[in-house]
Chain A
Amino acid sequence: MSKPYGYIALFESAPAIYHAAQSVREAGYKRWDVLTPFPVHGLDGAMGLKRSKVPVFTLCGGVIGFITGMLTAWYMGQFDYPLIVGGKPFFSPIFPFPVAYELTILLAAFGTLGGMFITNQLPMHYHPVMNYDKFRHLTDDKFAVFIEAEDELFSETGTREFLENLGPAEVAAISDEEEE
Chain B
Amino acid sequence: MFRPSVLEEVRPADIPRRQIIENDRSFSWITQKVCGIVEGRTPTWWWVAFIICALIASFTLMGLIYLVSTGTGVWGLRNPTFWGWAIVNFVFWIGIGHAGTLISAILCLLKQKWRTSINRAAEAMTIFAVICAGIFPLFHVGRVWFGWWLFPLPNSNAIWPNFRSPLEWDVFAVSTYGTVSVLFWYMGMIPDLATIRDRVPMIFEERLAGAKTALQKTFEKLYFGFRKYFYGILAMGWRGSNRHWSNYEMAYLLLAGLSTPLVLSVHTVVSFDFAVANLPGWHTTIFPPYFVAGAIFSGFGMVLTLMLPLRAIFGLQDLITQFHIDCMCKICLATGSMVGYAYGMEFFIAWYGSNPYEGFAFINRAFGPYAWAYWIMISCNVITPQFFWFRWARENLWLVWILSCFINVGMWFERFVITVTSLANDFLPSSWDYFSPTIVDVFTFFGTFGLFGVLFLLFIRFLPLLAFAEIKSVSKQADVHGHH
Q: Does B49 contact A (CB under 8 A)?
A: no
> In the complex the two chains form, what is the Cα distance from A129 to B199 in whole Å?
16
Closest Cβ of chain A to B184, distance in Å, is 8
Q: Are A49 and B198 in contact (CB under 8 A)?
A: no
> In the complex the two chains form, what is the Cα distance from A77 to B160 in whole Å?
7
The number of A-B residue pairs with CB atoms under 8 Å apart is 213
> In the complex the two chains form, what is the Cα distance from A107 to B302 in whole Å?
30
A130: contacting residue among B173, B191, B239, CB under 8 A: B239
Stretch at the interface among A97-105, A151-159, A162-170: A97-105
Q: Are B242 and A35 in contact (CB under 8 A)?
A: yes
Q: Which residues of B contact A44 (CB under 8 A)?
A: 242, 246
Q: Which residues of A contact B152 (CB under 8 A)?
A: 72, 76
Closest Cβ of chain B to A80, distance in Å, is 7
Q: Does A27 contact B (CB under 8 A)?
A: no
Q: Are B194 and A139 in contact (CB under 8 A)?
A: yes
> In the complex the two chains form, what is the Cα distance from A180 to B70 in whole Å?
62
> In the complex the two chains form, what is the Cα distance from A83 to B246 in whole Å?
50
Q: Does A28 contact B (CB under 8 A)?
A: no
A54: contacting residue among B172, B238, B247, CB under 8 A: B247
Q: Which of A35, A44, A139 has its CB near the most chain B CB atoms (within 10 A)?
A: A139
Q: Does B79 contact A (CB under 8 A)?
A: no
Q: Report B225-241 CB contacts with A as 1/0, cut-off 8 Å.
A: 00000001100111111
Q: Which residues of B contact A129 (CB under 8 A)?
A: 239
Q: Report B245-262 CB contacts with A as 1/0, cut-off 8 Å.
A: 111111100110011011
Q: Does B470 contact A (CB under 8 A)?
A: yes
Q: How many residues of A contact B (CB 8 A)?
A: 70
Closest Cβ of chain B to A91, distance in Å, is 9
Q: Are A112 and B472 in contact (CB under 8 A)?
A: no
Q: Report A66-86 CB contacts with B as 1/0, cut-off 8 Å.
A: 000000110011001101011
> In the complex the two chains form, what is the Cα distance from A33 to B183 in whole Å?
27
CB proximity to B under 8 Å, residues A31-67: 33-44, 46-47, 49, 51-55, 58
A39/B473 contact (C-beta < 8 A), A103-B172, A109-B258 known: yes
Stretch at the interface among B23-31, B351-359, B391-399, B428-436: B23-31
Q: Are B240 and A37 in contact (CB under 8 A)?
A: yes
Q: Does B6 contact A (CB under 8 A)?
A: no
> In the complex the two chains form, what is the Cα distance from A24 to B454 in whole Å?
50
Q: Which residues of A are in contact with B by a Cβ distance under 8 Å?
A: 13-15, 17-18, 21, 33-44, 46-47, 49, 51-55, 58, 72-73, 76-77, 80-81, 83, 85-86, 88, 95-96, 98-99, 101-103, 105-106, 108-110, 112-113, 115-117, 119-120, 122-127, 129-130, 135-136, 138-141
Counting from the closest, the 9 A-B pairs by CB-CB distance are A141-B27, A76-B160, A52-B250, A116-B251, A18-B480, A98-B169, A123-B236, A34-B242, A38-B473
Known pairs A35-B239, A98-B265, A108-B254. 7 more at Cβ < 8 A? A39-B248, A72-B163, A76-B152, A81-B159, A102-B173, A105-B259, A139-B198
